[in-house]
Structures are given as C-alpha cells and as structure tokens.
Amino acid sequence: MVRIGAFLVGLFFAGWLFISFLIGAVAYVSEPPVPTVEHEFHLPPKHVSFSFDGPLGKYDQAQLQRGFQVFKEVCSACHSLKFVAFRDLAALGYNEAEVKAIAKQWAIKTPSVDPATGEASTREPVPSDYFPKPFANNVAAAAANNNAIPPDLSLMTKARHHGSAYVYSLITGYQAQPAELLKEFPDSKTPEGLHYNPYFANLNLAMAPPLTAEGQVTYGDGTKPTVDQMAQDVAAFLTWTAEPKLENRRRAGLATIFFLLIATGLAYMSYQNIWADKKKAA
C-alpha cells in the first residue's frame, strides 16, 4: 500500500511538471519575449591574448608591475583591493624595501579621532596591511561618484565571465550611442551623468572612461603607454589579484594528471600480470 501511495505521489508531481512545461512552451510560442535594447546591443568581450592564457600560461611579472602602476595611479582613486595585502606584491617581483615604500604611499585610518581637527586619525601602513578603501563608507563613495558605489576590484575577474577580457573590453569600450539604437529604441538615450559602453550589462554605467589618452601613466620599463596597452596591463594585474596562485594550481594539476597516467599504466600492467594465468586456466 505504501508503495502504491508513493507511486501515485510521484506520478502526480511528474504530471504537474509536464503540464507546467507545456504551459510555458505554449506561452513562449504565442507571446515570444520582447527584444530589449540590452539584448540587441550588448557585446561579448573583445578577443585579447594574455601570457597566462591556456593550461601552460604564466604571469608576466613586468606586465603585472605595469598593471599595478595603472591601478595605483588611476583606479585606486575610486576602487579598493580589500583582499590584497601590500606584502602580496612581493609575488610581482618587488623586494622588501620596495613593498614598504609602496605601502607608505597609502594611509591607514584608525578608530581614534584627532582631537585637534575632529577627523579620523591615520597611521603609516606596514606590509601586512591590506590596501585601504578610498572612501570612509558607501555614503561617501556614492556621493563622490554620481550615486554609484565603485566595486572592489580584488575578485572582479573571477566575478565576470571572461574576466580578463571583460575588464579590458570595458575599459576600452566607451563610445557614442549608435544611431541604430536611438532609432530602434528612442527612449534608451544614455541618461545624464552616465556613459554608454556596449560591454557593460545594461549599456550605461556611472564610471567615466578611466584611460583617456596615451601617456596617462609613465612606465619605467620603457613600454609605450597606449590606452590599449594600459588596459591590457591593468586587466592582467586584476587577474593576478583574483588568482594569485594560478601558476601553482596549474602546476599541481599537471603533476596530478602525470601521476594518474603513470598509476593507470601500472595498474593495467599489474592487472595483466595477476590475471594472465587465470584467463588461460579458464
């Protein structure tokens, strides 16, 4: 009796799911989704190559240092790196003295208040400190950025599909709205204070173009600082902040695959050796 009851319950739910599927299919055919401006004009990330692409790819330390310079001189005015400590920069090739010198360029706010000015006190950072936020809180961040709170960039390339290419495309993708867009969707004009970018999900974002001219950052290694080069460099740096152990993970994966191949071969040979006489006897 219990089995019959369970069968009937299962049959009821299966039938209900099938009916729901049919209702949804009929609704989709009779009333197809209305095309939106986002679906029509949103573009996939541009194709761009990085040294760390592929299973054998590795970070280019020189590029990561250039990317950090772009972040420091351009992006850090609005964006934070709350999951990255100053001492982590040693992985980019900076020595201990250089890491300490970089840390001194920031100020760490303390809970105490300066009695003379009423402002929050600050202290000199140490390598173990994490990069401080550029704004005291979200209210201050929104007030300084057209009511938009700049996101933390520590894990941005992990949070977006094709993260490295997405960051590069977004930075280099600012443009005027296409005439076809305004013709097809006349109510979709970019609002005042926003900027049109087809690589952003809803096409309009509050962040102004961060890289606007060649030479905006001066590279110490002599690399020509074009907008395209700076965008690639900062995208590579943000990939490292999201995956600092990328190379170690890939090496471990390759070693594991190599080990499993050898173990599989040894297991097969052992099988053949142990069961060879048994097969003949059978």
Digit-coded pLDDT (tens) for 165-203:
999 999 999 999 999 988 888 888 999 989 999 999 999
Q: Which amino acid is at 12?
A: F
Percent of the chain clearing pLDDT 90 (strictly above): 65
Query: 197 with 174: CB under 8 angstroms?
Result: yes
Tell whether 186 and 259 lie within a shared domain: no
Dihedral sign computed on CA atoms, order 136, 141, 143, 149: negative
Query: What average pLDDT does range 74-84 have in this prediction?
Result: 96
Please give the residue range of the domain that contains residue 151.
58-84+130-244
Helix (H, G, I), strand (E, B) or coil at 42: coil
Please report which confidence band the pLDDT of residue 13 belongs to, taking 50, 70 and 90 as the band edges.
Answer: confident
Query: What average pLDDT does range 80-93 have in this prediction?
Result: 96
Mean pLDDT is highest, among 17-21, 34-38, 86-90, for 86-90
CB burial of residue 239 (10 Å; 0-12, 13-18, 19+): buried
Tell whether 152 and 189 lie within a shared domain: yes
Q: Known binding site for heme c: residues?
A: 75, 78-79, 207
Residue 68 lies in a domain: yes
Residue 208 lies in a domain: yes
Confidence (pLDDT) at 97: 96
Tell whether 77 and 215 lie within a shared domain: yes
Confidence (pLDDT) at 236: 98
Residue 43 lies in a domain: no
**Is residue 282 predicted with pLDDT exceeding 60?**
no
Q: Which amino acid is at 246?
A: L
Q: Known binding site: residues?
A: 75, 78-79, 207
Residue 15 lies in a domain: no
Joined tokens for residue 21: 């599927």
- β-pairing verdict for 204-205 and 195-196: antiparallel
Alpha carbons 248 and 253: distance in angstroms, whole number: 9
Lowest mean pLDDT among 55-59, 105-109, 197-201: 105-109
Tell whether 176 and 73 lie within a shared domain: yes
142-155: per-residue pLDDT in tens? Answer: 998 888 999 999 99
Confidence (pLDDT) at 96: 95
**Is residue 53 predicted with pLDDT exceeding 60?**
yes
Percent of the chain clearing pLDDT 70 (strictly above): 91
Tell whether 237 and 263 lie within a shared domain: no
Lowest mean pLDDT among 8-12, 49-53, 213-217, 234-238: 8-12
Tell whether 177 and 280 lie within a shared domain: no
Tell whether 80 and 159 lie within a shared domain: yes
Domain count, the chain: 2
Position with higher pLDDT, 282 vs 254: 254
Confidence (pLDDT) at 14: 84
Residue 12 lies in a domain: no
Tell whether 236 and 271 lie within a shared domain: no
Going from the C-alpha of 233 to that of each of 60, 65, 135, 198, 247, the distances in angstroms are 10, 8, 25, 21, 18
Average pLDDT, the chain: 89
Q: How many residues does the chain have?
A: 282
Confidence (pLDDT) at 196: 96
Please report which confidence band the pLDDT of residue 162 belongs to, taking 50, 70 and 90 as the band edges.
Answer: very high
Query: 197 with 175: CB under 8 angstroms?
Result: yes
